[in-house]
Chain A
Amino acid sequence: MSGHDSKYFSTTKKGEIPELKEELNSQYKDKRKDAVKKVIAAMTVGKDVSSLFTDVVNCMQTENLELKKLVYLYLINYAKSQPDLAILAVNTFVKDSQDPNPLIRALAVRTMGCIRVDKITEYLCDPLQRCLKDDDPYVRKTAAICVAKLYDINAELVEDRGFLEALKDLISDNNPMVVANAVAALAEIQDSSTRPIFEITSHTLSKLLTALNECTEWGQVFILDSLSRYKAADAREAENIVERVTPRLQHANCAVVLSAVKIILLQMELITSTDVVRNLCKKMAPPLVTLLSAEPEIQYVALRNINLIVQKRPTILAHEIKVFFCKYNDPIYVKMEKLEIMIKLASDRNIDQVLLEFKEYATEVDVDFVRKAVRAIGRCAIKLERAAERCISVLLELIKIKVNYVVQEAIIVIKDIFRRYPNTYESIIATLCESLDTLDEPEAKASMIWIIGEYAERIDNADELLESFLETFPEEPALVQLQLLTATVKLFLKKPTEGPQQMIQAAKDVVLAEKPVISDDSNQLDSSLLDDLLANISTLSSVYHKPPEAFVSRVKTAPRADDEEFADTAETGYSESPSQGVDGASPSSSAGTSSNVPVKQPAAPAAPAPMPDLLGDLMGMDNSIVPVDEPTAPSGPPLPVLLPSTTGQGLQISAQLVRRDGQIFYDISFDNGTQTVLDGFMIQFNKNTFGLAAGGALQVSPLQPGTSARTLLPMVAFQNLSPGAPSSLLQVAVKNNQQPVWYFNDKIPMHAFFGEDGKMERTSFLEAWKSLPDDNEFSKEFPSSVVSSIDATVEHLAASNVFFIAKRKNSNKDVLYMSAKIPRGIPFLIELTAAVGVPGVKCAVKTPNKEMVALFFEAMESLLK
């Protein structure tokens, strides 16, 4: 026993480092061990103890495993910053890798793999080779993972030294833990390569199925997940696999259960016998339901997956709707998911029960949940024609409670019900009209107005009702205004007082034309996306309901087993695209590693590729491939992808606002991943804070399949200004002759507006600074920005029209004064405070226009990235 470890945190004397140094070199073992513990304690709280590197490494030569582990922990942390000193440790590593104690052998290999220093990596190869063939399974399983570590550092080395083959041999190992780790390592390597490295043959299949029964729960997940890539040859083999996997459904670990479910669902596609399929569905139901007894976090994941499963195979849980009823103490995120599944499972048989539940939820306290419950009733009405009437009567009961937000939500869904079943339920309009005065949400108002307009001829006082809304017309949001306009026209057409009948007839044909029927949206995913997501059951993809490409940036998508050569991946043309924030967060190039994402297009079948092999090889070997550009296109850094090809049915759009020679351009690039020629491109911008609009026509020549085009579209500002608080949102619509209109959002970087005339004289800067009141001053920290050199930063900012004025030193920090100006003469007086080379820049700004400050900080932060 060594006493309380926390005492190591409490050393606060002045000469801490020299003191530690002395203790590390003590002749007493215990003292050295205590000293290393203190060093680690300091390290974990973020103190820099790298200067003790040599002294700590000297403690490495010990038989005491506890001490050795501590030294290794230190090494992993600091080797990267002290690569030359790290070499000192190599000899001990190599020696340890041949130690008689298997724990020490494994520890040495494990740690070496974590030290990402090139010189060390070379020395790692020989010990790794030995350890892959070690007698002890603990060493072998550690070595297997180490191969994946090495591949991540130096893929070429792994292939040259034949480690991949050694890894494949380990699949036949007699220890299941070793098999599981070998599988995990191979799967990871496969994920970062486009060449087929890890292919499951019928031989490996049987090995894996055998190991499955014996290894740990985590190993079972690795193996099951790699099995899910295997495509069975025929129905018989599929049945055989399913039979071996089914017992996993009884496992207490939810991850094992979900991975097993994934395989069964995939193999079921091949199984032709309806009896077998029915039987499997029956077997899957209880374990899926049991997942809902787990911790709420796991319930959430399970529910997101079940949501997908019931879309594909509604029969599995058709009789289990009761288990999805919300418990009052479920966390809100679980309740929301349960509601979705209840809608999906609602049928004529159980609708009464379901409605009773929904009605109960609609009277709960949580507003968001209540709204969703009311919407759910409406969706059931649209989905189940025979139940629509019952749904409506429940909605009417809810309206009678007169809770404002319930009423408004109910009116919104009733409008949809009217759309779905025209001329069926107008009798209730009178009841709706009673609540007219209480409506204050735009969507509810718009819905009510729509109803009045649509049934104007049957509502006696429709004109009065509409008039009551018209009083506030100018203040209403666009949504309500538009609806009012349409409704008024409808009213006029339906109850014309006088006027040329011919024109009225023509207008009637347009305004009162038959509307397309709306349908139930509860199975909203299209089938190809659904299949893609089902193949990813039990992964993050199935929780986000987005294909992996949409949020994974580090890993290249592996070709599916059934893909021909590399045609699928080579044909799209690679572009560097930063990772997309899944929850709508702004795109950013967050990953430290260079990201190079082939945008996989499951929907687009392979087209003849220009140079598949070359490209394929490049993808496998090289991370720094440049985007495939049209020769004539303006070059420049790759643009952020705004419309991924998965959304654009094969068309990918990347764009960015840039400033060139004092003018603002929209630098936009189109990648045609469809099979047809796309032409007739047009672009339009929604109202925005800066009133940006296209300054000319979009010049894009017809796009051949598989090609891309990039162009600079001149932009003009202050054309269509949007009212309200300033926002960087830029909504863009693009159309062409072949596809529907695409909408996407971009961000306006404010620095595109920084004018060339933004330079201020020192004196006028000082005057301006003094003349502005103090509450016009704002400041913000950019914690991740680093000023590595003052001159470089000044030059970099000047290139974006942020002009340097003066600087001074404040203790160890530099303070820079700068100015910038945006159109209409709005100046920004800037003070940057930073210590060179240390992350964290403080930006203070004074400007007469306070509203723009948030956007300004956004722009500065991106400039200082």
Chain B
Amino acid sequence: MISQFFVLSQRGDHIVFRDYRGEVPKGSAEIFFRKVKFWNDDEAEEAPPVFNVDGVNYIHVKVAGLFFVVTTMVNVSPSLLLELLQRIARVTKDYLGVLNEDSLRKNFILVYELLDEVIDFGYPQTTSTEVLKSYIFNEPIMVDAGRLPPLGPAAMFMQGTKRMPGTAVTKSVVATEPGGKKREEIFVDIIERISVTFSSSGYILTSEIDGTIQMKSYLTGNPEIRLALNEDLSIGRTGSSSYDYRSSSGGGAVILDDCNFHESVHLDSFDIDRTLHLIPPDGEFAVMNYRITQEFKPPFRVTALIEEAGPSRAEVLLKIRADFSANVTANTIVVQMPVPSYTMRASFELEAGAIVGGSEHTLRAKLTFSQESHGNLTKEAGPVNMNFTIPMYNTSKLQFSVIQD
């Protein structure tokens, strides 16, 4: 099973290091870091999440710019370890409020206490913040989230966008408020990741939604909650020819291709009234994950145009049209477009601010290159990626209402 667990900073410093079985030779963290930093294989330049060096298996994920790593000597389930690493990160975040190098270092004793309960002799025991509460005695030391240095441009490249901090909740689940007052709050969010491919003529080629209903509960006494979803919700596409979109043309019913649920969810009446019953455990968790390929209307239309304007210059024209109703507004919009690697300078004009439904915005940028482009400018620039939040709007039309008895 798991031999060691460690957390490394982006520079390779040990932040947390715990050896559970004492069977991996010394220096494994350094070996891991060197291997990941200088991964060079004939196929890929980025280290896969699972690899083996001299008989030691290294499994890692990147969370909040940190490497969460486990090592093992045996043939175990890597998906278990990957899930566990994500879960450890989440539990730590539940406890510390924010997850970063600073908060881990300040709370190292609490983190070690957590690790001892989460893993015993390399076997995962529990990762439920709720259960852990009764075994953990150290109090978290809060790090002020506001003072944190922003991750900067690096944040855009971080993978795992599915669990974006949709909620601005950076409070510890366990820490008591300074005034001793306990908050009676529950946050429920629908977070959807939309992937749409347009053809050059503007038709949608593929479209997919990966969604999560995320919950973070600060309720005392763990009351039962009912979460009612759309009544006409159906699961599973009919027929084998899956991509004909026939099913969605009418009604407006939400059809999920597949979904799964958190273990605290009881599905007894789900088939009848599409209601989930659960006693939300403390901490942040995904009540339900779902996947939709039925046709939907993407919230934005993005058109990008890049044109040569001289031997070592180009002009970029990015148009964004908001295809949703005018009474909602999208904010925290990040539009990202890679430019050729030999670009020296880019200058902008931008109409900034939030985007109101129905509006259209244009960005013009002038690029200056250090060398002449080779004619395939369009291939070396792009594709455009866009991150946004539209409060009170979701593409899939999945809805819920929370009912507390």
Contact = CB atoms under 8 A, between A and B. Distances in A.
Interface string B243-276: 1000000000000011111110000000000000
A296 B160 contact: yes
Nearest to B39: A333
Q: B26, B110, B258: which has the most chain A beta carbons within 10 Å?
A: B258
Interface string B6-40: 00000000000100011111110000000000000
Contacts of B167: none
A301 B379 contact: no
Interface stretch (B42-50, B298-306, B352-360): B42-50
B372 interface: no
A468 interface: no
A254 interface: yes
Interface in A27-80: 37, 40-41, 44, 65-66, 69-70, 73
Interface stretch (B125-133, B217-225, B310-318, B324-332): B125-133
Contacts of A363: 376, 379
B74 A588 contact: no
Nearest to A249: B260
B116 interface: yes
B263 A216 contact: yes
Contacts of B232: none
Interface string A111-148: 00110100000000000000000000010011001101
A452 to B, nearest CB: 28
B198 interface: no
B308 interface: no
A58 to B, nearest CB: 20
Interface stretch (A268-276, A317-325, A383-391, A689-697): A317-325
Interface in A131-182: 138, 141-142, 145-146, 148-149, 152, 177, 181
A413 to B, nearest CB: 17
A720 B42 CA distance: 28
Interface string A515-558: 00000000000000000000010111101100010011111000
Interface stretch (A2-10, A672-680, A814-822): A2-10
B82 A368 contact: no
Contacts of B107: 5
B144 interface: no
Contacts of A488: none
B25 A331 contact: no
A65 B24 CA distance: 30
A212 to B, nearest CB: 12
A294 B160 CA distance: 8
B80 interface: yes
A233 B137 CA distance: 49
A320 B242 contact: yes
A583 interface: yes
Contact of B261 (A188, A225, A250, A548): A250
B76 A540 contact: yes
Interface in A312-337: 319-320, 322, 325, 327-329, 331-333, 336
A289 B52 contact: no
B79 A141 contact: no
B285 to A, nearest CB: 9
Interface string B90-129: 0000000000000001111110110010001101111110
Interface residues of A, number: 108
A333 B260 contact: no
Interface residues of B, number: 91
Given A4-B141, A181-B123, A588-B55, A286 B79 contact: no
B177 interface: no
A555 B23 CA distance: 12
Contacts of A113: 121
Q: B74, B77, B108, B162: which has the most chain A beta carbons within 10 Å?
A: B77
Contacts of B46: 331-333
B49 A300 contact: yes
B137 A540 contact: no
Contact of A295 (B86, B113, B286): B86
B67 to A, nearest CB: 11
A579 interface: yes
A643 interface: no
Contacts of A110: 116, 120
B401 interface: no
A362 to B, nearest CB: 11
A597 B285 CA distance: 42
Given A41-B108, A191-B74, A336 B44 contact: yes
B139 interface: yes
B236 interface: yes
Contacts of B166: none
Contacts, number: 262
B120 A40 contact: no
Given A2-B139, A44-B108, A590-B25, A368 B44 contact: yes
A265 to B, nearest CB: 15
Contacts of B138: 66
Contacts of A138: 135
Contacts of B77: 221, 225, 255, 258-259, 538-540
Interface in A63-119: 65-66, 69-70, 73, 103, 110, 113-114, 116
B169 to A, nearest CB: 20
A358 to B, nearest CB: 15
Contact of B125 (A65, A218, A588): A218
Given A5-B108, A216-B128, A328 B383 contact: yes
B54 A298 contact: no
Contacts of B113: 66, 69
A807 interface: no
A332 B79 contact: no
B82 A301 contact: yes
B159 interface: yes
A590 B289 CA distance: 42
B195 interface: yes
B84 interface: yes
Contact of B75 (A9, A300, A319, A541): A541
B231 to A, nearest CB: 21
A540 B137 CA distance: 36
Contact of B53 (A114, A301, A581): A581
Nearest to B113: A69
A301 B50 contact: yes
A839 B25 CA distance: 13
B51 interface: yes
Contacts of B49: 296-297, 300-301, 333
Contacts of A9: 105
B141 A582 contact: no
Given A3-B141, A145-B120, A553 B242 contact: no
A5 B105 CA distance: 8
Nearest to A557: B75
Given A301-B79, A543-B50, 14 more contacts: A1-B139, A6-B108, A69-B137, A110-B120, A113-B121, A221-B77, A254-B83, A257-B260, A258-B77, A293-B210, A327-B195, A585-B53, A590-B55, A590-B56
The 9 closest A-B pairs by CB, nearest first: A579-B55, A297-B49, A255-B80, A286-B258, A582-B52, A218-B124, A548-B75, A293-B210, A255-B79
27 contacts: A5-B108, A9-B105, A69-B113, A148-B121, A216-B126, A218-B124, A255-B83, A290-B259, A290-B289, A290-B291, A293-B291, A295-B160, A300-B48, A301-B49, A302-B79, A327-B195, A331-B159, A332-B44, A364-B379, A368-B42, A403-B376, A536-B75, A538-B78, A538-B79, A540-B75, A541-B75, A590-B55
Interface of A: 1-6, 9, 37, 40-41, 44, 65-66, 69-70, 73, 103, 110, 113-114, 116, 138, 141-142, 145-146, 148-149, 152, 177, 181, 184, 188, 191, 216-218, 221-222, 225, 250-255, 257-259, 286-287, 289-290, 293-298, 300-302, 319-320, 322, 325, 327-329, 331-333, 336, 363-365, 368, 372, 403, 536, 538-541, 543-544, 548, 551-555, 578-583, 585-586, 588, 590-593, 783-784, 839
